[in-house]
Amino acid sequence: MDLICASLMERKIDHPSHIHPLTPVRRRAMLLCDACGEEHEGLWYHCYTCGLFWIHRDCAALRSTIQRSDHKHPLTLSYSLPSQYTKFDPLCDICRKRLRRFSWVYYCGKCRYFTHVKCASSKIVPPMSIHPPEIEDHDSDRLYLPPDDIKSINAIEFLLRRLGLGENERATKLNHFSHDHPLILFDVQTEESCRLYCNGFAFGCEICQFYLDVTCGSLPSTIKHEAHKDHLLHLKKPQRDCRCAACHRWIDFDQLSFGCDTCDFKIHTICSLFPRTFRHRYDEHPLILTYSPVEDREVDEYYCEICEEELNPRQWFYHCVGCDQSMHTHCALYHRLASLKQCYLLIAVFSRYYA
């Protein structure tokens, strides 16, 4: 044992993470740390009063605040996931894995940025921070999203245009990458790709009982979205269950979605259609589709003006900077679209997910 370890073994410490003094203990066997949730060996601090609390020496020495190069604000050490954020079930912003509720985290409350202590102390940076932008090709046939306003969302016209058909014409066959056999137009009510109610027609394979509604079947293979400006988003089925960057609901591994091949960015096909601006009778100004917490806002909490529930600013939402008013996307659009009946697909989504 060297002099440093010998001196550490002689004294107890009072640590702000625990109410009792902690005693240094050397363990050769691997042990699970109550701070980081990882296995370690070597010098530990243990509470003999509780008998259950173990933190590794490295975790005991963590600084109360740190600064990372990929985030502009200092990150504060918390000895559990702060209770006001647990209902939003945040993921680590570096490794994109779940945060344990009672493990230590570094976080920024203003930006709702969270990391495991191990990730925060590492040199790992989120994929979007290290991959350069793609060269812009200005493809005239590419769909650029979001649409400017709610009036520009006309699902039927868009689909017919993508199919190269007139308003009174209809494709009867479709070859689609998501299925091995040609798909024939049927009259059905549900389909496999988005698992939502369709408008009554879908392309299907009778052999496999596979159905793809006209909306999903006609989506472009590649889009460009303002929320992820540097890279193209490709229509595909993810290889594993993942979260939608827009609504934070899960995308099943066999569900069509738009995703970035470079970064861990994926969105539901329907979320990609949220309009950029939106007018509501509750606000005299247009509300802007917002992808992250508002800069330089005095308070950290956000409440929806329609349902009056707290909203998570890491999910897309509508916001008016001048009036400091916010709305859930589903509250704002469902209220508007239910009255105008402009987009059957969005209404179907909101009825399924948010009813």
Per-residue pLDDT reduced to its tens digit, 138-178: 555 577 888 776 655 544 454 445 444 444 345 577 788 77
Q: Cis (ω within 30 of 0) for the bond into 126?
A: no
d(CA 126, CA 129): 5
Strands 222-225 and 143-145: parallel
Q: What is the mean pLDDT of residues 254-282?
A: 86
User: What are the distances in angstroms from CA 83 to CA 78, 90, 101, 294, 311?
Assistant: 11, 12, 9, 22, 15
Q: pLDDT tens digit string along 273-302?
A: 888 988 888 888 999 999 999 988 888 899
> What's the alpha-carbon Rg for the chain, to the nearest Å?
25
Q: pLDDT tens digit string along 6-51?
A: 555 557 899 999 999 999 998 877 889 999 988 988 899 999 998 8
Topology, domain 273-353: Herpes Virus-1 (3.30.40)
* Domain 65-126 and domain 273-353 have a common topology: no
pLDDT band at residue 82 using 50, 70 and 90 as cut-offs: very high
**Residue 145, pLDDT score:** 82
Q: Is the pLDDT of residue 345 over 50?
A: no
CA angle 90, 92, 98 (to 5 degrees): 65
Q: Is the pLDDT of residue 339 over 80?
A: no
267 and 289 in contact (C-beta within 8 Å)? no
260 and 266 in contact (C-beta within 8 Å)? yes
d(CA 186, CA 204): 6
d(CA 151, CA 132): 34
- Quick one: how far is CA 312 from the chain centroid? 11
Q: Is the pLDDT of residue 86 over 80?
A: yes
Domain boundaries, the chain: 3-60, 65-126, 273-353
At 330, list the tokens. Answer: 């589903």
Question: Architecture of 65-126 per CATH?
Answer: 2-Layer Sandwich (3.30)
d(CA 337, CA 343): 7
Nearest by Cα to 24 from 55, 64, 59: 55
**Residue 92, pLDDT score:** 92
Q: pLDDT tens digit string along 110-119?
A: 899 999 999 9
Q: What is the mean pLDDT of residues 58-64?
A: 93
At 331, list the tokens. Answer: 């509250």
Q: Is the pLDDT of residue 232 over 80?
A: yes
Per the model's pLDDT, the better-predicted residue between 336 and 49 turns out to be 49
Q: pLDDT tens digit string along 179-226?
A: 888 888 776 555 455 655 555 677 888 888 887 777 677 777 888 999
d(CA 54, CA 139): 57
105 and 117 in contact (C-beta within 8 Å)? yes
**Residue 355, pLDDT score:** 37
**Residue 342, pLDDT score:** 43
pLDDT band at residue 256 using 50, 70 and 90 as cut-offs: confident
Per the model's pLDDT, the better-predicted residue between 227 and 161 turns out to be 227
Structural element, H or E, at residue 331: helix 329-340
User: Residue 265 carries which DSSP code?
Assistant: -
